[in-house]
Amino acid sequence: MISERHIASQFHSLWGEALPLLTPSFVRLFNEAFADELSDHPQSKLQSIPIGPSIEKHDLVAELSFQMAKEANRYEVSVEELKNNSKMVKNAYNNAVQFLAHYKPDDMSVLLNNDEVSESILLASQYEKFFNELNLSNIEFSPNIAGSGFMSKCSADLSVSETLYEVKTVSRNISGTDIRQLFVYLALQATAGSPKWTHAGFFNPRRALHYRFSIDHLVYRISGGKSTPDVFRYIVEFLHREVELDSIF
């Protein structure tokens, strides 16, 4: 069993057939056309948060901020309240370490310095500002995604009503691999039952960026005019084929 990240970054024959027009030039246009700079909204409380000079464990900082926001949403408290609750902070920290161990089992450098903790809190506060800025409701962190074929079950990042968001706490633009990973989740969910999401997108708490698009529209654009059910069915059927897995490890 392998992860959605491996599927998104490998198996070029799958993606060349399913989404042949998801090219580097299209990804550049995607970033230009869909990026919504939330800090530019009138009276917005969101702001860009550059990586601090003493930040070393970037992945753990990003994941801890996500888990803090998740805890705050679960218990209906603000991040400001959560940071003063040692039990909730510890639970968020343990969940972050456990999550990263799934993808980086050999990385045992899990202690954060004070600046890394402070930056995690700042990033976590971006989530509630994001929800308030766009007046979002029906928020679900880590919606479960059933596995299929040689892909194990997993969880996506953020479901908000009819939209599935992938969170990318990075300084770079959205990549083709990011888009493919999002489509793995969408395909698995849609083929396991009735489609849950009509829209999808990305939220970048570090850069205060928001992307949102119609799933059917983007599938049509990057598949060369195929229907969403046909593309999703092809992706899931590929996961049941006998393929050589050793080359990706």
Gap between the Cα atoms of 45 and 26, Å rounded: 31
State the pLDDT at residue 242. 56
Contacts for 219 with CB less than 8 Å, ≥ 6 apart: 19, 226, 227, 228, 231
Gap between the Cα atoms of 249 and 238, Å rounded: 19
Residue type, position 160, single letter: V
State the pLDDT at residue 81. 96
Phi, psi of 37 (to 5 degrees): -80, 100
* Domain residue spans of the chain: 4-42+51-248
Gap between the Cα atoms of 131 and 169, Å rounded: 16
Gap between the Cα atoms of 164 and 158, Å rounded: 6
Gap between the Cα atoms of 101 and 110, Å rounded: 10
Both tokens of 19, joined, read 């989404």
Gap between the Cα atoms of 208 and 202, Å rounded: 11
Q: How many CB atoms lie within 10 A of CB 150?
A: 16
Residue type, position 56, single letter: E
State the pLDDT at residue 246. 42
State the pLDDT at residue 109. 55
Parts of the chain with a pLDDT under 50:
108, 244-249
- Four-residue CA torsion sign, 169, 26, 218, 34: positive
pTM comes to: 0.91
SS3 227: coil
